[in-house]
Structure 1
Amino acid sequence: MFLSKTDFKKIFTFSLVGVSALYFSQKKITSEQANEDNLKKHIYYLASDELQGRLTGSEGETKAANYLSAEFKKLGLKPYEGKSFIQGFEYNVKLNPHDDKTSTTVKGKNVVAVLNNKAEKTIVIGAHYDHLGLNEHHNSTLANSDGQIHNGADDNASGTAAVLELARMFSQNKTKENVNYVFALFSGEEDGLMGSKKLAETIKTNYPNTIFMINMDMVGRLNSNKDLTIGGVGTSPILSDLVKKYKPEGINLGLDESGVGPSDHTSFYLKDIPVLFLFTGTHNDYHKPTDDSDKINYPGQKIITNYVFNLANALGHEKEIPFTKTKVAPTKAVPKYKVSLGIMPNYADSKDGMGIDGVIDNRPAANAGILQGDTLTRIGKCEVKEVYSYMDCLAKINAGEEHPVTVKRNGEEKVFNVKF
């Protein structure tokens, strides 16, 4: 089992490594620059009380989606599919982990636009725009906060605003790029990467030569040390040097190799697409009603947006970006669990087992022969219905034990002996 989003981001913040010492003179200076006023305008609207926290499936999400669609339309971008920028999807979520009767169907809306340069290659630049609403799905880190608006300025109006500004910069860039750009704003992230999974399932059909995905999640709180964590640098051998080469002056980079994490880049990594994940760190307002617009570091966000613009330009000029599978560091395991199966769970509440969206190489599941796309139904005698019961089953196992693990594959039940 991987870290919760909260724990993962705490570890990311306090374990920064790989600080770069390269200088600004090594960067490519671009003609287009991010506009701080634009970033502030987008964040103040998206994180306003009017949108009621942008919960997936809510009226606030619809208002946000309409706003994002209008911004893309102003820039002359084209919809990803059909005539609308909206890409709909559905999933089930359990409102009470201990009560099967609380499962409800959620209808979400991705907002996706394309800058078609008639190029052979395509890069996805994305962020999730949904947040916790009034804590209806119980993801808040503040006790007794049901009914309070969780505005999510940093998480993730900040990343959303950056994507909108990058869409403006690329669409108005006087120099034609070597690639097409898909600007993707996901919903359903807070319930388990639901929107990005939907887009990742279709991206290679619509754009077969999708060479990269850049994800920005919580990029609005650059601290006084200017610490910026970048995940995914191990997903291609060219990335470590590239992110250092274009590093803005004064920024301290913390590099993490893994392509798997609690944000939307994971969905694309699992489709064998190299990724980068930018994150300025967690804070006391994370997943609380106090994550508000007046706490954003707008000059810092401008620096990061320009940085992504330069990175995306550089990636577009690469002849090849080889994909590399990455390991999951042992420190990413949830502390209260003694073992890990080594899978990426599907967080949707399916009632008849938990889908497996990814299997990590050289971990117990992979070693036993379990595959991506299998549905996990039982660990030993412990029944798995969805992610909550999966966690309950996992918590009962000690390191070194062997248990039969039952999965469904193409409608057929299979049992594997797994050593944890």
Structure 2
Amino acid sequence: MKELSLYKTLLIACLTLSSQIQAQENITVPELYGHIEYLTQKKLKGRTPGGRLNKKVIRYLRTDLKKSGVKHFNHGYFQPFYVQMRSEKEESPGPTVQTWNIMGYIPGHDTDSKNEYIVLGAHYDHLGMGGPSSKAPTKSGLHAGADDNASGTAALLEIAEKLSANRELLDRSIIIVAFGAEEQGLKGSSYFIDHPPVPKEQIKLMINMDMVGRLNDQKHIYMGGAGTFPNGMELMKKTGNAQGLSPIVHAGEVGGSDHVSFYRQKISVLGLHTGAHPQYHTPEDTIELINFAGTQKVAEYIYQVILKLASKDQELRFIDQG
């Protein structure tokens, strides 16, 4: 009887461990919801760069990456930099504040390819209580930025978790980075590529997620830059269709978000989003409007794309799109 009891105990422990491992390998709606709920809470006042509240956000992101097994570089997970905030009047510049990129990496396992890197990124900052970039009539009020870009940040954390759990599938290495101060003029990504944690020539591709929380009924996922690396157009369409999505794929049209900073340095890029909407840069961009099942589908799509691009059999080289 004691042996049977011990067997049951061990079986339950194994099943519990298996369940925990499986949970880590899945991109789930509850986890996406939890990340976006945290990032859009009123206490964070719209995730503007600088100050005590910014530090709370970056600690949250650091903790999640560390929990997922994403490794840090020699300087740790934080990359500090300074940014001058935008102002309504050009002749009266805003204050200069310190903010941070949060980054880590998942090492590839192929001897020849592990020193080539794919960057997966999303900006975590937003407009705070409004300001010059707001589209609201009064340019004031809490701008929670659920789609822009808590959605991309949540997807980043979930994809990082799944990649880390399946790192044996990666030939190339993956850098995970949450950029600060995108809304101030792509400042975080510009600083990152000017001060990369690995030699710049080893960065072969940058994938950017900015506003991926509003997948429509037609399952459209929009992207630019698919022509900046070999076979990109076909790969993005075919993989998207296999995931039940209808990709709108452009070879060029590289503009508008953090991947631009990489393209300017002649690095292949891919910028993804689920489309514009009337709540963009207004206080109405709230969690209630997020399509969580759609966000999960988009995140899974990007995960599958990364597995293909991280293979040593996939050629990665820069193709200028003019």
Question: Under TM normalisation by the shorter chain, which class is it?
Answer: 0.7 to 0.9
2:106 to 86, 97, 115: 115
- Residues 1:165 and 2:165 aligned together: no
Query: Relative to 1, partners in 2 of residues 1:102 and 1:273: Cα closer, same or farther, differing over 3 Å?
Result: closer
How far the C-alpha of 1:225 sits from its partner, in A, is 1.4
1:8-407 correspondence runs (5 A): 32-82=25-75, 84-98=76-90, 100-117=91-108, 119-135=114-130, 137-146=131-140, 148-173=141-166, 175-203=168-196, 205-206=198-199, 208-247=201-240, 248-258=242-252, 260-317=254-311, 318-327=313-322
Deviation, structure 1 residue 130: 0.2
Alpha-carbon contact 1:234-1:240 (below 8 Å) kept: yes
Query: 1:85–1:112: 8 Å Cα contact kept in structure 2?
Result: yes
Identical counterparts, % of pairs: 35
Q: Distance in 1 between matches of 2:267 and 2:167?
A: 28
Per-residue CA distance 1:316-348 (angstroms, 9 max, x = gap): 113421211113xxxxxxxxxxxxxxxxxxxxx
Instruction: State the number of aligned residues.
Output: 293
TM-score of the aligned structures, taking structure 1 as reference length: 0.66
If asked which structure has higher relative contact order (CA below 8 Å, sep 6+), I would say: 2
Q: Secondary structure at the match of 2:183?
A: coil
Q: Deviation of residue 257 (structure 1)?
A: 2.3
- Structural RMSD (CA): 1.9
User: How many angstroms apart in 2 are the aligned matches of 1:89 and 1:174?
Assistant: 30
- The residue type equivalent to 1:272 in the other structure is K
Q: 2: distance between equivalents of 1:122 and 1:39? A: 26
Per-residue deviation at 1:258?
2.2
Gaps of 5+ in 2: 1-23
Q: In 2, are the aligned partners of 1:260 and 1:266 still within 8 Å (CA)? A: yes
Alpha-carbon distance in structure 2 between the residues aligned to 1:322 and 1:175: 23
Q: Deviations over 1:225-279 (max 9, x none)?
A: 1111011112123100110121144422212222631100111111111111110
- Compared with structure 1, are the counterparts of its residues 76 and 249 closer, same or farther at alpha carbon in structure 2 (3 Å cutoff)? closer
Query: Where do 4+ consecutive residues of structure 1 move more than 6 Å?
Result: none
Render the CA deviation track for 1:280-327: whole Å, top value 9, x for unaligned.
011111111111112110110111111001100101113421211113
Check conservation: 1:238, 1:321, Cα contact below 8 A: no
Retained in 1: the 8 A contact 2:86–2:184?
no
1:204: how far off?
7.2
Q: Go from structure 1 to structure 2 and tell me whether the alpha carbon gap of 1:106 and 1:50 turns closer, same or farther (over 3 Å shift).
A: same
| Kept in 2: contact 1:112–1:182 (CA 8 A) | yes
Q: Is the 8 A contact 1:127 1:217 kept in 2?
A: yes
TM-score, length-scaled by structure 2: 0.86
Aligned to 2:13: none
Residues 59 and 143 (structure 1 numbering): CA distance in 2 closer, same or farther, change over 3 Å? farther
Between structures 1 and 2, the one with greater helix share: 2
Structure 1 segments unaligned to the other structure (5+ residues): 1-30, 328-420
What is the identity, as a one-letter code, of the residue corresponding to 2:81?
Answer: F
Q: 2-side partners of 1:249 and 1:103: how far apart? A: 44
Residues 51/111 of structure 1: CA separation in 2 closer, same or farther (3 Å cut): same
Does structure 2 conserve the Cα–Cα contact (< 8 Å) formed by 1:55 and 1:61? Answer: yes
Query: CA 1:80 to 1:97, structure 2 compared with 1: closer, same or farther past 3 Å?
Result: farther
Alpha-carbon contact 1:229-1:255 (below 8 Å) kept: yes
- How many Å separate the matches in 1 of 2:183 and 2:167? 37
* 1:42 to 1:239, Cα distance in 2 relative to 1, 3 A: same
Q: Where does residue 4 of structure 2 map in the other structure?
A: none
Closer/same/farther in 2, CA of residues 145 and 37 from structure 1, 3 Å limit = same
Distance in 2, matches of 1:211 and 1:291, equals: 34
Closer, same or farther: CA 295–67 of 1 in aligned 2, 3 Å:
same
